[in-house]
């Protein structure tokens, strides 16, 4: 499964391209239509035949799992790239949040809850790596003194989840995406420390939970 999830180095270039198109189309279709979405619609958007889809992903479950693992792996790559590319820890966090919104892992996972084995060893390993990557960005921004001290990695993750889901109503994809990034920028301004604007004596309401805390709560509530 590991090769299937990310780079698939053993595949020919055309097979890799077909696979990438199927996964990209599947992510969008599952977000829009849910886990029972027609696989024919996925193959149509991918520009491949349904037989090609089944060759790569013999079951719906295999396709859904590959979509989630692939999206999570890409977010980990983006966290690493943000750390390496930005001189400011806060700007690295900002860049990561926008890229994570584009990847839509935070949209497809809620859409497929109950259908994808989030607690199997491979999935848990990738999710643990992802949580650690976000925690590293948050820790660096705290150490820099640019991120409000009460902001946790769980806050960052849940903000992205709340913005990633498509807006209800007849919004086209481009407008929905543009609004999500606008609203993310507005929220990010509330994360930064500014002594002239922020009342430091006013703590944020609700529990301060990391991504690991949120995962434990999720498993206990099942």
Of 94, 87, 90, 115, nearest in space to 160 by CA: 94
What is residue 178's predicted lDDT score, i.e. its pLDDT? 86
pTM here is 0.81
Residue 28 located in a structural domain: no
Containing structural domain, residue 214: 65-221
Residue 34 located in a structural domain: no
* DSSP string for residues in 45-110: HHTS-HHHHHHH-SSHHHHHHHHHHHHHHHHHHHHHHHHHH-SSHHHHHHHHHHHHHHHTHHHHHH
What is residue 176's predicted lDDT score, i.e. its pLDDT? 83
CATH number, position 148: 1.10.357.10
How many angstroms separate the Cα of 16 from the Cα of each of 73, 95, 174? 17, 28, 27
Residue 103 located in a structural domain: yes
What is residue 102's predicted lDDT score, i.e. its pLDDT? 94
- At 117 the three-state DSSP class reads coil
Residue 2 located in a structural domain: no
Of 27, 212, 207, nearest in space to 133 by CA: 212
d(CA 130, CA 76): 5
Query: 59-108: per-residue pLDDT in tens?
Result: 999 999 999 999 999 999 999 999 999 999 999 999 999 999 999 999 99
Low-confidence ranges of the chain (pLDDT < 70): 1-11, 169-171, 194-207, 217-219, 221-222
d(CA 135, CA 133): 5
Count: domains in the chain: 1
Residue 142 located in a structural domain: yes
Residue 96 located in a structural domain: yes
Residue 35 located in a structural domain: no
What is residue 213's predicted lDDT score, i.e. its pLDDT? 77
Residue 48 located in a structural domain: no
């Amino acid at each position: 499964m590991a090769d299937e999830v990310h780079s698939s180095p053993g595949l020919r270039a055309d097979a890799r391209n077909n696979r990438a198109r199927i996964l990209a189309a599947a992510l969008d279709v599952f977000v829009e239509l849910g886990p029972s979405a027609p696989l024919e619609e996925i193959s149509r958007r991918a520009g491949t035949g349904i037989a090609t889809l089944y060759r790569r992903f013999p079951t719906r479950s295999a396709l859904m799992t590959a979509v989630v693992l692939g999206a999570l792996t890409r977010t980990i790559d983006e966290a690493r790239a943000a750390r390496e590319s930005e001189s400011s820890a806060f700007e690295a966090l900002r860049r990561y949040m926008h890229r994570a919104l584009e990847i839509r892992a935070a949209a497809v996972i809620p859409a497929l809850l109950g259908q994808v084995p989030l607690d199997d060893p491979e999935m848990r390993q990738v999710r643990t790596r992802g949580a650690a990557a976000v925690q590293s960005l948050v820790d660096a921004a705290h150490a820099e003194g640019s991120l409000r001290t009460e902001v946790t990695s769980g806050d960052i993750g849940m903000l992205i989840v709340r913005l990633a889901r498509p807006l209800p109503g007849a919004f086209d994809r481009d407008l929905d995406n543009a609004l999500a990034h606008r609203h993310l920028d507005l929220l990010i301004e509330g994360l930064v420390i500014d002594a002239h604007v922020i009342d430091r004596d006013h703590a944020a309401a609700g529990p301060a939970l990391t991504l690991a805390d949120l995962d434990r709560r999720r498993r206990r509530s099942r």
